[in-house]
Structure 1
Amino acid sequence: MATAFSFSQPLRLRTLSSATLTMSGFVLTKDYVRKAFSHLGEIQDLEHRKKFLTEYTVPNVTWTCTGSAHSLAGTRHSVQDHEDATFKRLGRNLTGPIKFTATRVIVDAEREQDGWWCTVETKGEATRTTGQPYNNEYAWLMRWNDEGKIVEIRSYWDTMLSEKVLLGQE
């Protein structure tokens, strides 16, 4: 009688490479990244929203707003410095916080020497004080440490729209 399975050959298990294994056992996954980003979708409960910055980001994160021809460009070396230079400045011309929704998450299959890398594409939605919508699209390239915290972010987005918001233009 034939069977669908043959056990005459030893079973080989697929394992992660040694470059992927860490002392902490942390492995970056899409689900983990989506969970972290879900906090940025909260615009009513601001304490819940802050969890992205307090639970998933190191305080001394290196956060780069790429580019050079806009006023938000630059590299900051703390959550507070980044908030002051970007979110708070934009927030003066928005009626509330930007609601970020992750639309695509790409995670490197293996850990690099400097940590885990992923890219998150997001929508950012808010209302300007002029009544116009603020609908922006972002891509954040992020490096995570072995404790599951973000240590570096490089953000890309429609900077012209942000400049219009900063200037109070429609």
Structure 2
Amino acid sequence: MFVSMLRPNLFRPRFLSTAATKTPAFILTRDHILRAFAPLAETKDAAIRERFFTDSIVPDVTWTITGSAHSLAGTRRSLEAHSAASFNKLGQKLRGPIAFTVTRVIVDAEPGPDGWWACVETRGEATRSTGEPYNNEYVWLTRWNAAGKMDEVRSYFDTMLSEEVLRGPGG
């Protein structure tokens, strides 16, 4: 008490301006990401699976498949372009869609100047048209906008396995 009488402002909490401490309208959480990715586990009902793409990704997403020494590598600036260059291409060599299971989610503690970032690790399982399994592991570095949708994805996975499937028989 004596100290506070001598220097009354010393122990008083200081707050940043209200503009700096304004709570964002959208806060990215692990649960939000798990709900967003849940439709990718569906392989029988296309309408359920499609919700991942319509509800969780902006149509003009920037989607990069990293690397340079494989046919899927590149940056596409729309969901349509990415699907044509990757999902559809690989899908021609599979008996059905890849069932994705989220195995780990890491979310930034706060948004950066360009939005929220999260790292989503998944396991993807499908059957090749030859009957062999296609089991791959993925890490998607994802940026989320203020509406809670992904507007950028950087994808990392076993590209050697994907190339083996793409060059193999079937489809």
TM-score, normalised relative to structure 1: 0.86
Deviation at 1:168, TM superposition (A): 1.3
Distance 1:30 1:103 in 2: 12
Matched residue SS, 2:23: coil
Matched residue SS, 1:90: helix
Instruction: Establish whether residue 150 from structure 1 lines up as the match of residue 159 from structure 2.
Output: no
Structure 1, residues 40-78: CA drift from partner, whole Å, max 9, x if none? 111011111011110110000000000000000000011
Distance 1:116 1:51 in 2: 21
**CA distance 1:157–1:20, change in 2 (3 Å):** farther
Tell me the residue number matched to 1:21: 23
Distance 1:109 1:126 in 2: 34
Any residues of structure 2 matched to 1:1-170 within 5 Å, and which? 18=20, 21-22=23-24, 25-168=25-168
Structure 1, residues 129-165: CA drift from partner, whole Å, max 9, x if none? 1110000000000000000010000000000000011
Distance 1:69 1:49 in 2: 30
**CA distance 1:129–1:107, change in 2 (3 Å):** same
**CA distance 1:105–1:163, change in 2 (3 Å):** same
Matched residue SS, 2:162: helix
Structure 1, residues 17-50: CA drift from partner, whole Å, max 9, x if none? 947732xx11000000000010111101111101
Q: Which has the higher helix share?
A: 2
Distance 2:21 2:49 in 1: 33
Aligned length: 153
**CA distance 1:26–1:85, change in 2 (3 Å):** same
Report sequence identity in percent.
Answer: 59
Matched residue SS, 1:50: helix
Distance 1:125 1:107 in 2: 24
Q: Which runs of 5+ in 2 are unaligned?
A: 1-12, 14-18
Q: Which runs of 5+ in 1 are unaligned?
A: 1-11
Is the 1:19–1:111 Cα contact (8 Å) retained in structure 2? no
Distance 2:137 2:128 in 1: 16
2:130 maps to a residue whose letter is: T
TM-score, normalised relative to structure 2: 0.86
